[in-house]
Chains A and B, each alone.
Chain A
Amino acid sequence: MAWLLLLLMLFLLGTNYQNNLVMGLSFLLLSIFNTCILYSYRNLAGLTLSRAQTTANTFAGQACYVPVHIASKHNSYEVKLNFSEQPIEIAKKVFGPPQSALLNILHTHRGLLKPGRVKVESRYPLGLCRAWSYVDLDIEQVIFATPIQNNISLAISSQDSSEIEDTGRLVTGVDEFSGLKDYVKGESLKQVAWKQVAQGRGMLTKEFQQPQGTPLWLTLDTSSDDLELSLSKLAWQTEQLSSKQQIFGLKLGANSIEPAKGEVHRIAVQTQIALYPNNLREVNHD
């Protein structure tokens, strides 16, 4: 805009002083503007954007980073990427193998985040004109509920509430194979992993564990009016139990997740909480 204003000023200057060179300069600058339109277009032409594999791990209120792969047939410079009204990510130079860019989304809310289309923008080479385009990468991101600390409801669905702290925790036992550890002298030879010995990996002991007590079930506190607060509390407990390696299940609305533990389980549970009450849809996770 400033550029065109300058052109106009130069044209007026040239006209008023009847100076052909000043007019020529203004025409040249106009022509440069025209050239830049083509160059800006070229900078974006041939650019390929694709969605990168994402793992949801964002809590509401946090900034969400969506990775996007960007590749170009020829060199592209200063490519700006952003979701509407979100911070801009700049890829300074795009060339060769796809490189990834993290698109930032501020102010997230619990639920399924659909940031919409990605805006691809460039002012290269002179910043005179802006070439832009919207790309629909069909990006969806689950935003977990914000964990809010609480103590009360851990026992609610536990059938046996005597030892809350240990309930659902795994202790060393015989039921489930949990892993291998170095053999310590004196341990039962029955538990030595002979297969691994035969593979030359040394003496290892098979470890078994079993859940202590009955598994915990997390359920929604329906007595509370504030659904978000209740969900946030559930999210906190999910985090807590997961960090303590306890086994727990979730009953939320019509869906329930069988007691389990581990990262995959945590994400499945958090996803259910995040999507409630629209959580009937089966959420894929691997």
Chain B
Amino acid sequence: MISDSLSSKAKRTAQISISRHTLMWLLITNVAILSPLYQQVTVWSLAICTICIIWRVGIYLGKVARPPRWLVTALAFFSAMTLAMVANKIGVLTALINLLILGYALKYIEMRSRRDVQVVVLAGYFLIALTFLQQQSVWSSLHLLLVTLINTCVLISLYHDENNFKYAVKLGTKILLQSVPLAIILFIVLPRLPPLWMVPPQGAAKTGLSNTVSFSNITELTRSSELAFRATFVGDYQPINASLYWRALVMEDYDGKQWQQNASITAAENAFADKTSSKEPTRTLTMPSLRMENLDSDTALSYSVIAEPSGQHWLFGLDRATSQDSGIKMLADFRLYASTPIEQQKLYNVTSFTNANLQVELPLAQQQLNLRLPEGQNPRTLALAQQFAKRYPNAEDRLTAMMRYFTEQPYFYTLRPPPVGKQQIDDFLLNNKAGFCVHYASAFAFMARATGLPARLVSGYQGGEYNQAAGYFSIYQYMAHAWVEVWLVDRGWVRFDPTAMIAPERIEQGFDAFFDPQQSYLADSPFGYLGLQSSEFIKQLRMQFASVDYFWSVWVLGFNTNKQQRVLEEVLGEVTRTKLAIFLIVSLGIVGLSIAYSAGLIQFHRSSDKHLNAYYAVCKLLKKDNLAREYNEGPQAYNQRVALANPSLATDFNKFTDYYIAIQYQVLNKKAQKRLSRLLIKQSRRLKFIIIKQKLALNKTNT
């Protein structure tokens, strides 16, 4: 009996402890936390979440009862099982997120005590962190900060049970804002560690360049105005547009339809990506010519790149790119390759040697590889190539002639080329005479190979939009490009861009100069015209936003050990452990004191009566003029003394004293009180001003 009544009593008190106020907050926070995760949520989890939220609303309105515990447990068990089964398909991390979401939603409906609410709130914070893995822009960060605030308000509502919505918001904001300075200090000071263990990949969708290039697939990119990466050059160096050939992929295999990377390169890439610290890759990738002493440091060009998430490993660099960053490999074809797929913004530093030769000595196997042509295809192109070979026995003359060929014949550049048949290069080169970069590059490489010159296709991006305000280049997906590298004796791989012959503006001034954006990268976005190219003002605005985003990327997302070191050196000079500790303790003290002050823990001795304060403030100023008010001196007596000592002040001070006496000692109605109070404060300001002015004038005459 006793235990029964006790437990029922406990239950009752537990139920009481979750107020409707808290329930309301929980509803809000639930929606706020789950909505940004929509990309990760599977349909089933979404369905269960929706049911839970509807149920919760029902409980809140008092329409339905709380579900029995066994039902919740069973649901949780089965959904966990299902998720475990599909984990391979949707990726471990997504499965984990879904599991957490389900747990969150289910816990949410069976919540009974304060402790349950706390668990839900903590899980909420974790879900916010998981959202941060996917969304890192300035706006989504601000949005998630707001969600954090809402989540914190749930906790406040637990301990402040007054049904006062505004109070919870106010206190929550106050606590959050007061906590931000310390958080920033910790962010700057606390060391960044390398990843401690392998984590499941985020499974971001692969975007950007594809590892095969054919006559059809770059056009898709030219329709995308998404950012691919951003680059900042060291110093004020601002390269011309035509020199910005960002290499990403090198393709040596051509099967008559598409170009793709050679198997040996992909094998090397995979070996590096799979490398688990213990072993070096089996095949040495570093070519002898990559030795640093061969490189002319005068032409070195240093820059940092912030790559947007692409889900791919390859990075972008100009010409012969080198990088000392960990987790980045320099491949044999002079590209940069990341050990993990780029699933969130990645900042890396590159030094490029623009005049350096690429691979002066070409091994025989690779030479043959780059001469291989699909058998029995494009006979007319082959014949054309033979003519070039006959007429220009010198390799460089021949290539120049081939380049010129594109301008001499009526070729034109279009993103919507006519279809090609089986003999695709023949069709393009001799029939259609219209195409985009891949067409020209393929044809050029094909012809070069046909005349015995090793040639390969390079895909990447060309150009960049310079942001004046923040001083960086933005490279968008629509700047995707393909060109050719031909190996020449003593010079190594030399870049040839036949597209530049047909559409020089495309290369010299950028993509926008050649194409009307509406026909290319804005064709698919209905608001493109409004958002991008319309007026100068909107363009400016867009640039400003882009600058904010850029600084966010560099200083927050890309804040790494190097940056940390630099910032700390700026603040502290030479960074030592003691200095760091002192800095941390001092800032902790300052932050603590200011919070304590604003929370009302520390009070400076100041009367809460503003009239008294106003009067004393003036008296204090006069005290410096050797006209201090005695402790036993009443306002009127003091007034007389002031009038005698400082006649210029007499009228004003007399008025001031009158107001003061009236407000302190007379019985006034509310309106008069208000009026006098205003007059007194005003007069006090006026007197202070006069006294200070007099003093300044006195000082001047003295000196």
Q: Which residues of A contact B (CB under 8 A)?
A: 2-3, 6, 9-10, 12-32, 34-36, 38-39, 41-42, 45, 74, 77-78, 92-93, 123-128
Residues from chain A with a CB closer than 8 A to the CB of B183 are: 24, 27-28, 30-31
Residues B122 and A127 in contact, CB atoms below 8 Å apart: no
A30 to B183 alpha-carbon distance, docked (Å) = 7
B180 at the interface (CB under 8 A from A): yes
Beta-carbon nearest neighbor of A92 in chain B: B161
Residues A38 and B596 in contact, CB atoms below 8 Å apart: yes
Minimum CB–CB distance from A5 to chain B (whole Å) comes to: 9
Residues from chain A with a CB closer than 8 A to the CB of B152 are: 32, 126
Given A16-B199, A127-B118, verify A22-B592 contact (CB < 8 Å). no
Minimum CB–CB distance from B556 to chain A (whole Å) comes to: 6
Closest 7 CB pairs of A and B: A31-B179, A31-B182, A27-B186, A31-B183, A28-B183, A21-B132, A126-B155
Residues A15 and B180 in contact, CB atoms below 8 Å apart: no
B667 at the interface (CB under 8 A from A): no
Given A2-B118, A6-B122, A30-B186, verify A25-B148 contact (CB < 8 Å). yes
Residues from chain A with a CB closer than 8 A to the CB of B488 are: none
User: Can you list 5 residue pairs at the A/B interface with Cβ under 8 Å?
Assistant: A2-B119, A17-B133, A20-B556, A25-B132, A38-B599
Q: Which residues of B contact A (CB under 8 A)?
A: 114, 118-119, 122, 125-126, 128-130, 132-133, 136, 141, 144, 148, 152, 155-156, 158-162, 171, 175-176, 178-183, 186-187, 190, 192-197, 199, 202, 344, 556-559, 588, 591-592, 595-596, 599-601
Residues from chain B with a CB closer than 8 A to the CB of A36 are: 175
Given A16-B195, A17-B133, A126-B155, verify A34-B182 contact (CB < 8 Å). yes
Count CB-based A-B contacts (< 8 Å): 137
Residues B193 and A32 in contact, CB atoms below 8 Å apart: no
Minimum CB–CB distance from A31 to chain B (whole Å) comes to: 4
Residues from chain A with a CB closer than 8 A to the CB of B144 are: 21
A189 to B156 alpha-carbon distance, docked (Å) = 74
Residues from chain A with a CB closer than 8 A to the CB of B196 are: 12, 15-16
Residues A32 and B129 in contact, CB atoms below 8 Å apart: no
Residues B125 and A6 in contact, CB atoms below 8 Å apart: yes
B132 touches which one: A22, A32, A78 (CB < 8 A)? A22
A14 to B559 alpha-carbon distance, docked (Å) = 13
Residues B148 and A28 in contact, CB atoms below 8 Å apart: yes
Residues from chain A with a CB closer than 8 A to the CB of B148 are: 25, 28
Beta-carbon nearest neighbor of A34 in chain B: B182
Residues from chain B with a CB closer than 8 A to the CB of A13 are: 129-130, 133
Residues from chain B with a CB closer than 8 A to the CB of A24 are: 183, 187, 556
Residues B179 and A93 in contact, CB atoms below 8 Å apart: no
Known: A15-B196, A25-B125, A31-B180. 12 other contacts (CB 8 A): A2-B119, A10-B129, A13-B133, A17-B344, A24-B187, A27-B182, A31-B183, A34-B592, A38-B596, A74-B600, A92-B161, A93-B162
Residues from chain B with a CB closer than 8 A to the CB of A15 are: 192-196
Beta-carbon nearest neighbor of B140 in chain A: A21
Minimum CB–CB distance from A2 to chain B (whole Å) comes to: 6
Given A14-B129, A31-B180, verify A125-B175 contact (CB < 8 Å). yes
Most buried by B among A25, A39, A78: A25
Residues from chain A with a CB closer than 8 A to the CB of B136 are: 19, 21
Given A25-B148, A36-B175, verify A77-B193 contact (CB < 8 Å). no
Residues from chain A with a CB closer than 8 A to the CB of B601 are: 38, 41-42, 45
Minimum CB–CB distance from A22 to chain B (whole Å) comes to: 5
Residues A77 and B160 in contact, CB atoms below 8 Å apart: yes
A9 touches which one: B126, B141, B600 (CB < 8 A)? B126
Most buried by A among B119, B159, B202, B556: B159
Residues from chain B with a CB closer than 8 A to the CB of A16 are: 195-197, 199
A105 to B176 alpha-carbon distance, docked (Å) = 39
Residues B599 and A39 in contact, CB atoms below 8 Å apart: yes
Residues from chain A with a CB closer than 8 A to the CB of B133 are: 13, 17, 19, 22
A127 to B119 alpha-carbon distance, docked (Å) = 12
A2 touches which one: B122, B180, B600 (CB < 8 A)? B122
A30 to B190 alpha-carbon distance, docked (Å) = 12
Minimum CB–CB distance from A211 to chain B (whole Å) comes to: 45
B179 touches which one: A10, A20, A35 (CB < 8 A)? A35
A125 to B172 alpha-carbon distance, docked (Å) = 9
Residues B193 and A19 in contact, CB atoms below 8 Å apart: no
Given A32-B179, A36-B175, A42-B599, verify A20-B559 contact (CB < 8 Å). yes
A13 to B175 alpha-carbon distance, docked (Å) = 25
A21 to B202 alpha-carbon distance, docked (Å) = 16
Given A16-B197, A125-B156, verify A23-B125 contact (CB < 8 Å). no
Residues from chain B with a CB closer than 8 A to the CB of A19 are: 132-133, 136, 344
Most buried by A among B136, B179, B187: B179
Residues A28 and B180 in contact, CB atoms below 8 Å apart: yes
Beta-carbon nearest neighbor of A30 in chain B: B186
A18 to B161 alpha-carbon distance, docked (Å) = 40
Residues from chain B with a CB closer than 8 A to the CB of A25 are: 125, 128-129, 132, 148
Given A30-B186, A42-B599, A42-B600, verify A10-B126 contact (CB < 8 Å). yes
A89 to B482 alpha-carbon distance, docked (Å) = 76
Residues from chain A with a CB closer than 8 A to the CB of B197 are: 16
Residues B180 and A124 in contact, CB atoms below 8 Å apart: no
Residues from chain B with a CB closer than 8 A to the CB of A78 are: 159-161
Beta-carbon nearest neighbor of B156 in chain A: A125
Residues B176 and A32 in contact, CB atoms below 8 Å apart: yes
Minimum CB–CB distance from A280 to chain B (whole Å) comes to: 39
Minimum CB–CB distance from A121 to chain B (whole Å) comes to: 12
Most buried by A among B114, B161, B175, B591: B175
Residues A17 and B182 in contact, CB atoms below 8 Å apart: no
Most buried by B among A10, A13, A27, A41: A27
Residues from chain A with a CB closer than 8 A to the CB of B591 are: 34
A3 to B119 alpha-carbon distance, docked (Å) = 10
A45 to B171 alpha-carbon distance, docked (Å) = 18
Residues from chain B with a CB closer than 8 A to the CB of A6 are: 122, 125-126
Residues from chain B with a CB closer than 8 A to the CB of A30 are: 182-183, 186
A188 to B27 alpha-carbon distance, docked (Å) = 80
Minimum CB–CB distance from B473 to chain A (whole Å) comes to: 23
Residues from chain B with a CB closer than 8 A to the CB of A124 are: 159-160
Minimum CB–CB distance from A139 to chain B (whole Å) comes to: 25
Beta-carbon nearest neighbor of A32 in chain B: B179
Most buried by B among A6, A13, A17, A29: A17
A212 to B195 alpha-carbon distance, docked (Å) = 96
Beta-carbon nearest neighbor of B130 in chain A: A13
Beta-carbon nearest neighbor of B153 in chain A: A126
A74 to B192 alpha-carbon distance, docked (Å) = 42
Residues from chain A with a CB closer than 8 A to the CB of B556 are: 20-21, 24
Beta-carbon nearest neighbor of B340 in chain A: A18
Residues A123 and B159 in contact, CB atoms below 8 Å apart: yes
Residues A125 and B126 in contact, CB atoms below 8 Å apart: no
A138 to B50 alpha-carbon distance, docked (Å) = 56
Beta-carbon nearest neighbor of B161 in chain A: A92
Residues A42 and B344 in contact, CB atoms below 8 Å apart: no
Residues B175 and A35 in contact, CB atoms below 8 Å apart: yes
Residues from chain A with a CB closer than 8 A to the CB of B190 are: 27
A126 to B190 alpha-carbon distance, docked (Å) = 25
A25 to B126 alpha-carbon distance, docked (Å) = 10
Residues A126 and B182 in contact, CB atoms below 8 Å apart: no
B175 touches which one: A17, A32, A77, A127 (CB < 8 A)? A32
Residues from chain B with a CB closer than 8 A to the CB of A2 are: 118-119, 122
Residues from chain A with a CB closer than 8 A to the CB of B181 are: 31
Residues B195 and A18 in contact, CB atoms below 8 Å apart: yes
A30 to B136 alpha-carbon distance, docked (Å) = 21
A25 to B145 alpha-carbon distance, docked (Å) = 9
Residues A28 and B161 in contact, CB atoms below 8 Å apart: no
Residues from chain B with a CB closer than 8 A to the CB of A10 are: 125-126, 129
Beta-carbon nearest neighbor of B175 in chain A: A35
Beta-carbon nearest neighbor of B158 in chain A: A127
A26 to B125 alpha-carbon distance, docked (Å) = 9
Minimum CB–CB distance from A132 to chain B (whole Å) comes to: 15
Minimum CB–CB distance from A124 to chain B (whole Å) comes to: 5
